[in-house]
Amino acid sequence: MIETEIAIVGAGPAGLAAACESAQVGSKVIVFDENNHPGGQLVKQIHKFFGSKEHLAGVRGIDIGKKLYKRALSLGVEVRLGTVVWGYFENQLAVVFNNQVEVVSAKKIIVATGALENTLSFPGWTLPGIMGAGGAQTLMNLYRILPGKKVLMVGAGNVGLIIAYQLLQAGAEVIAVVEAAPKIGGYKVHADKILRNGVPILTGHTVKEALGKERVEKVIIAQVRSDFSIIPETEREIDADTICLAVGLTPLTELLWLMECEMRYESDLGGFIPVRNKNMETSISGIYIAGDVAGIEEASIAMEEGRIAGIAAAESLGHIISDKARMIKNRAEESLLQLRLNPSFAPRMTEKNKTNNGIIKNSQIEILNRNGSIPIIECNECIPCNPCETVCLFGCIQVGTTITNLPLLNLDKCTGCGQCVLACPGLAIFLLDRNYSKDEAAITLPYEFLPLPKKGEKVIALDRNGSKVCEGEVLNVILTKKGDRTALVKIAIPKEHADKVRSIKTTRLDSGKEGEN
């Protein structure tokens, strides 16, 4: 029998955060996970995170996972990978490792099992080449296998948009993103990244049928009504060898049903989830939850929930006094409030303060005619994110205490250093020098494709929808450790196109987009 004070099921962001919080105050903790890699979904998330510095904003998910795992080990947490938790009997967990069944006796249990991808059925949906978007992401980012060459993404939530971009990075052609809803469900900055690379997003569309003999060869898409029924005579056939489904997640709650926790259905959170209190404790005393199993949200939220569950479990064991535990939990709850702020209700800038005291809202920068490079901030959606503010040494960009505020730029302080371009997780900031020369402007773009363009190379300059605007010449390419695999590519373009160009396409034969830097 394995004995511990706290057993945690799941070594993802929620489970590892809970383990760190419990262990640092003296709890004996063991984490179990069926995967051979720690970090849960973080092991394949190569994009930079949103949020604040406290949420590790601007850090790539893969690195967040490594940081959490390394910290857990340094605190004495035992992490048992390749171990399946398959049962719960008389307050004990049943696990299997190397075909050997063992029983785990724990005083407290934290369930952080995550979620399962939803699927979508349509004629031909069982053909090879049709997979969950998360499965495609695992193939690419964990095993370096390209899931397909011509990919249709179904679903325009954050998962679909992010993975569509990563498919481009891996060298695939993304034919389109189709979304049955009338508008995208993910962040606009994620949508803009793929739009700038020529990927159309077709809202009000769905897959009607997949065609092929031994695998997907073609797919029929069609427009849908508000009730998602197909509109006749709107069908069209497109070539594709892969269909990725990003149509939502369902909390992985089987273990909690076995434990007979009280459950409730929350459609906005993915389905049935356990009833829990402010300590993330379920209706069964001593059993806590955190992360997507508590409701589908973001990884940053999962970590904060893990911290609450971890410190609450340690508090119940007497490892930390209540006053100190309350302070830790209150900080985590404040972070959750920030991360969960509904963009629809987040404070927005008024016309009066757009130009007050030299602070200029990003959408008005275009009218300026100033010498030297200035940031163009095309982040016009209130999302929880402020790395652009925290990275600036001169206080040029202001977001404020509410991290869903739109960023504002004070040009009087700005030196055009470009650090905000590198820091932006949404790749939504550019540097523009309208007066680079008599006839040319220069724009500096964040770039995350390989191979990198070279100084002096001719490139095709693209607009916000990925359409060709003009030709450009690469003036400089900067790739530093501080940029964390995001390069700065500066190009010269005709001055009249300064407000149109937002991306580039290289023209070399070897310029397939073969993965992230």
Q: What is the DSSP letter of 76?
A: T
Residues 78 and 171 in one domain: no
Q: pTM score > 0.85 for this model?
A: yes
pLDDT digits (tens, 9 = 90+) for 154-172: 999 999 999 999 999 999 9
pLDDT digits (tens, 9 = 90+) for 297-316: 999 999 999 999 999 999 99
Mean of pLDDT values over 408-434: 93
Residues 94 and 217 in one domain: no
CA gap 389, 165 in Å, rounded = 25
pLDDT digits (tens, 9 = 90+) for 119-145: 999 999 999 999 999 999 999 999 999
Task: Tell me the CA distances in angstroms from 467 to 260, 347, 505, 508, one per residue in order.
Answer: 55, 34, 10, 18
Map tokens 């031994």 to a residue.
214
Residue 351 has, within 13 A of its CA and on its CB side, a CA count of 0
As a residue count, the chain comes to 517
Higher pLDDT, 205 or 361: 205
Number of independent structural domains in the chain: 3
Flag whether 443 is in a domain: yes
Higher pLDDT, 102 or 366: 102
Flag whether 88 is in a domain: yes
Map tokens 């250093």 to a residue.
417
404 is in which domain, residue-wise? 352-506
Q: Is the pLDDT of residue 295 over 70?
A: yes
What pLDDT is stored for residue 341 in this prediction?
A: 77
Residues 88 and 123 in one domain: no
Residues 49 and 112 in one domain: yes
Q: Is the pLDDT of residue 513 over 60?
A: no
Flag whether 517 is in a domain: no
Residues 156 and 178 in one domain: yes
Mean of pLDDT values over 38-64: 93
Helix (H) or strand (E) holding 361: strand 359-361
Residues 461 and 434 in one domain: yes
Flag whether 345 is in a domain: no
Backbone torsions φ then ψ of 148, nearest 5 degrees: -175, 165
What pLDDT is stored for residue 265 in this prediction?
A: 97
Residues 373 and 494 in one domain: yes
Flag whether 69 is in a domain: yes
Mean of pLDDT values over 257-285: 97
Mean of pLDDT values over 358-387: 72
CATH at residue 33: 3.50.50.60
Beta pairing, strands 84-89 & 92-97: antiparallel
Task: Give the alpha-carbon dihedral of 319, 29, 250, 94, to 10 degrees.
Answer: -120
Q: Given 3-state DSSP classes, what are the helix, strand and coil percentages for the chain, each rounded to the nearest 5?
A: 25, 30, 45
Report the share of the chain in percent with pLDDT over 70. Answer: 92
Higher pLDDT, 510 or 103: 103
Model confidence band, residue 385 (pLDDT cutoffs 50, 70, 90): very high
Flag whether 514 is in a domain: no
pLDDT digits (tens, 9 = 90+) for 468-509: 999 999 999 999 998 899 999 999 999 999 999 999 999 764
Residues 108 and 127 in one domain: no
Domain boundary pick from 194, 213, 245: 245
Residues 358 and 493 in one domain: yes
Q: Is the pLDDT of residue 454 over 70?
A: yes
**Three-state SS across 141-156?**
HCCCCCCCCEEEEECC
pLDDT digits (tens, 9 = 90+) for 59-101: 999 999 999 999 999 999 999 999 999 999 988 999 999 999 9
Residues 265 and 137 in one domain: no
Flag whether 303 is in a domain: yes
What pLDDT is stored for residue 369 in this prediction?
A: 61
Q: Is the pLDDT of residue 358 over 50?
A: no
Mean of pLDDT values over 205-225: 97
Residues 399 and 490 in one domain: yes
Closest CA to 406 of 121, 127, 236, 188: 188
Q: What is the DSSP string of 190-240?
A: HHHHHHTTT--EEETEEEEEEE-SSS--EEEEEEB-TTSPBPTT--EEEE-
Domain boundary pick from 219, 245, 271: 245
Q: Does the N-terminal peptide bond of residue 128 adopt cis geometry, omega within 30 degrees of 0?
A: no
Domain boundary pick from 309, 339, 369: 339
Flag whether 347 is in a domain: no
Q: Exposure of 449 by Cβ count < 10 A (0-12 exposed, 13-18 middle, 19+ buried)?
A: buried
Q: Is the pLDDT of residue 233 over 90?
A: yes
Residues 91 and 38 in one domain: yes
Question: Which residues are bridge partners to 178 per DSSP?
Answer: 154, 202
Pair 1, 102: CB distance under 8 Å: yes
